Chains A and B, each alone.
Chain A
Amino acid sequence: MSRSSYLGDDTIALHSGYQPESDHGSRAVPVYQTTSYVFDSVDDASALFNVERGGHIYSRITNPTVAVLEQRLAALEGGSGAICTASGMSALFVTFFSLCSAGDHIVSAAQIYGSTVTLLKHTLKRFGIDCTFVPINDPVAVANAIQDNTKLVFCESIGNPGLEVSDLPMIADIAHQHGVPLVVDATFATPYLCKPIQYGADVVVHSVTKWIGGHGVAVGGVVIDGGNFDWLASGRFPTLTEPYAPFHGMNFWEEFGPSALAMRIRCESMRDIGAAMSPHNAFLLLQGIETLNLRMQQHIDNAKKLIAWLQEQDAVAWVNHPDLPHNPSQSAAAQLFPKGAGSMLSFGVKGGREAGAAFIDALQLSSNLANVGDSRTLVLHPGSTTHSRLNEAELLAAGISGDMIRVSVGIESFKDIKADFGNGLRAAAKMADKLAQQA
């Protein structure tokens, strides 16, 4: 098993990456709200710039507070290194940018976050990188989509918003048979529920804005290098296995091996693109990560209760969650998510889109907004918001119906979530009756 710490996850979440600093003995991780760092000498500066020693130069590239978060996340996921970024989308971008060049190709799951679809389908295409979208749990479709110029297979461990669980071991096997890595966006799961590297993933990406931060106060992302992929044997990755001119011909694979990708992202993307996480955000996210495991269990407990309750309500047309027996990926969910396949669920109310809108507008405790993974319960209508740029066919491929309401179940007292949803369902039922009368 790939590990990078021998502490328990609860301990890692609290301690990893930091020991009280020598100057003042601060028990909590301090915020190094600084742009730059004094060099001991000209030689010292030269050594830092030439990667002859570790340390900090400028906070666009590294920062002591951000580094604690990076090392903590790498330890939680069992990776060899991590790079934090300004957002989850920038984490995805620097990953694709570091592995692909013009003329290359990506195979991606079809059921993924709408902005990621846009990145893969439109933005990267402008740079000459093409993408084929496939039903990710169809092994034949995945294998057939891989081309000579394919550089990675991408999926979300739990798809957003269709909640399809990716069969990571199967997908990783296919990718590896073709000499390409598996990149997994594990935002919906967090390492508390599933560690993709243990199931064959080579790179893990998170929007740490969501459950990892957990409080809806800071945007951020992370790329975790699994450290297991043999970039040289693959023969497809000149960005990692051939000399890199801006660093005097540095060969990342030869010099850094298991952390080659993380070092490439650090040396190139953070310098040239500069999508750095702010130190203050890193501090806020560290506060969140300390209670990740406690919060996730409450998220899961509330989600299970809400699923059971919604299934009993007359106003509800359908409920979807990967743990439910009718969900096509239930067996994968049971294998990969033994504690529960996340706290996202979706459901439809009888009466379609209008009734769904009535449901959302009647809520008081739950918030209608475009985020997930807050401690508070959040709801959204994906078809008119996060996925509104997709056409009908793309919406269908992404597993989105017009009546779908996406719920990110929070950690409030369940009785209050239930009461709030009860009010919403009553409003939805009224709207459904009205629509029926009009018809």
Chain B
Amino acid sequence: MYIQVNGQSTFIATGGKTFDTSLPTVVLLHGSGLDHRCWALQARWFAFHGYSVFAPDLPGHSLSQGEPLTSIEDMGAWLVAALDAAGVEQVHLMGHSQGFLMALEAAPLLGSRVESVMALATAAAIPVNPALIDTAKADTSKAADMMLQWGFGSDYQYGLSSVPGMQPIGIGQRIMTNNPLATDLEACNNYSGGAARASSLTCPVQVVLADQDRMTPMREGLKLAQTLGVKAQIINGSGHMLPMEAPQQSLQAMQSFIQTLK
């Protein structure tokens, strides 16, 4: 569905069903340079199992208009505005990589509206190699290639796919190449408030990590889990692009966490 957020047309993926504010809402937040399609399968499962799905494309990404946001803090505030625009009250925030940082910034603004937070393949801080940012500024496609080569785990480098016939690296490459990757990476690199925000979360939280993650190494994710006081769930054989690489395993982790809350 398309909604107006701060005067801009914004696309919100709803998992193939009409958005219904009366249902519990799962908010799926994409990572740097990506869009809602990294959650394609998980979104459909939640939408057809009693939840409303709210998976936005950030401003200037894929189907959403507007200038890209330059800081994680701005992204957090924008998410609150988007939820308000859609009339959403209570939310389960689930963020991949940069999407989790965004959730951390949105959480204090949302206060008691946050039912839970889940972190997938991420950490409290995501420093980015300046060379990658510079490359993204000069040539988004080249930077996307660098990220995808680094970001997908070994099986996916060998062309495996959870969806028969598809090439997730190719899909990711097309999405990233057309999105403001450099702005996103710079926002991640400049963000330093994650640990403090994480330690102040009071809602139920969960951390899901990938053992082959080289973008946000697992040791950093484990530190985040320690800060949050939870035992991280590790998905073996997957890299940083967890929602695309291991949609079924990541969905199972998301399902079991959210169902535990009931």
* Residues on the A chain within 8 Å of B45, using CB: 47, 52-53
With contacts A62-B164, A74-B170 known, is A17 near B41, CB below 8 A? no
With contacts A70-B165, A71-B165, A75-B159 known, is A250 near B16, CB below 8 A? yes
Q: Are B170 and A2 in contact (CB under 8 A)?
A: yes
* Residues on the A chain within 8 Å of B174, using CB: 2, 80, 227-228, 257-258
Contact of A74 among B17, B40, B158, B165 (CB under 8 A): B165
B169 at the interface (CB under 8 A from A): yes
A123 at the interface (CB under 8 A from B): no
CA–CA, A53 and B161, complex, Å? 12
What are 8 A-B pairs at a CB distance below 8 A? A4-B170, A5-B169, A19-B155, A47-B45, A52-B45, A81-B167, A249-B16, A257-B37
A24 at the interface (CB under 8 A from B): no
Question: How many chain B residues touch A (Cβ–Cβ < 8 Å)?
Answer: 39
CA–CA, A42 and B11, complex, Å? 33
Q: Are A50 and B48 in contact (CB under 8 A)?
A: yes
For A47, give the chain B residue with the smallest CB separation: B45
B162 at the interface (CB under 8 A from A): yes
Q: Are B13 and A54 in contact (CB under 8 A)?
A: no
With contacts A2-B173, A258-B171 known, is A83 near B16, CB below 8 A? no
Minimum CB–CB distance from A27 to chain B (whole Å) comes to 13
Q: Are A248 and B175 in contact (CB under 8 A)?
A: no
Q: Are A227 and B16 in contact (CB under 8 A)?
A: no
With contacts A6-B145, A250-B16 known, is A258 near B170, CB below 8 A? yes
CA–CA, A434 and B91, complex, Å? 90
A67 at the interface (CB under 8 A from B): yes
A430 at the interface (CB under 8 A from B): no
B247 at the interface (CB under 8 A from A): yes
A266 at the interface (CB under 8 A from B): yes
* Residues on the B chain within 8 Å of A88, using CB: none
Q: Are A227 and B159 in contact (CB under 8 A)?
A: no
* Residues on the A chain within 8 Å of B149, using CB: 6
Chain B residues near A (Cβ < 8 Å)? 11, 13, 16-17, 35, 37, 40-41, 43-45, 48, 62-63, 141, 145, 148-149, 155, 157-167, 169-171, 173-175, 247-248, 251
Q: Are A70 and B145 in contact (CB under 8 A)?
A: no
Q: Are B158 and A79 in contact (CB under 8 A)?
A: no
With contacts A2-B174, A50-B48, A255-B44 known, is A17 near B160, CB below 8 A? yes
Chain A residues near B (Cβ < 8 Å)? 1-7, 12, 15-19, 47, 50-56, 62-64, 66-67, 70-72, 74-75, 78-84, 227-228, 232, 247-251, 254-259, 262, 266
Q: Are A5 and B159 in contact (CB under 8 A)?
A: yes
With A52-B44, A53-B162 already in contact, 15 other A-B pairs whose C-beta atoms are closer than 8 Å: A4-B159, A4-B167, A5-B170, A7-B157, A15-B159, A19-B158, A50-B44, A52-B251, A54-B162, A64-B164, A74-B170, A78-B170, A84-B165, A249-B16, A258-B174
With contacts A19-B160, A71-B159 known, is A80 near B170, CB below 8 A? yes
Q: Are B145 and A53 in contact (CB under 8 A)?
A: no
* Residues on the A chain within 8 Å of B63, using CB: 232, 254
Q: Which 3 A-B pairs have the closest CB atoms?
A: A4-B170, A16-B159, A54-B163
Tell me which of B13, B43, B158, B247 has the highest count of chain A C-beta atoms within 10 A of its own C-beta. Answer: B158
Contact of A71 among B35, B44, B167 (CB under 8 A): B167
CA–CA, A318 and B86, complex, Å? 71
Q: Are B16 and A80 in contact (CB under 8 A)?
A: no
Q: Are A227 and B171 in contact (CB under 8 A)?
A: yes
* Residues on the B chain within 8 Å of A250, using CB: 16
Tell me which of A75, A250, A259 has the highest count of chain B C-beta atoms within 10 A of its own C-beta. Answer: A259
For B39, give the chain A residue with the smallest CB separation: A255
* Residues on the A chain within 8 Å of B35, using CB: 257
CA–CA, A169 and B145, complex, Å? 23
Q: Are A257 and B62 in contact (CB under 8 A)?
A: yes
* Residues on the B chain within 8 Å of A262, using CB: 165-166
Q: Are A82 and B165 in contact (CB under 8 A)?
A: yes
* Residues on the A chain within 8 Å of B145, using CB: 3, 6
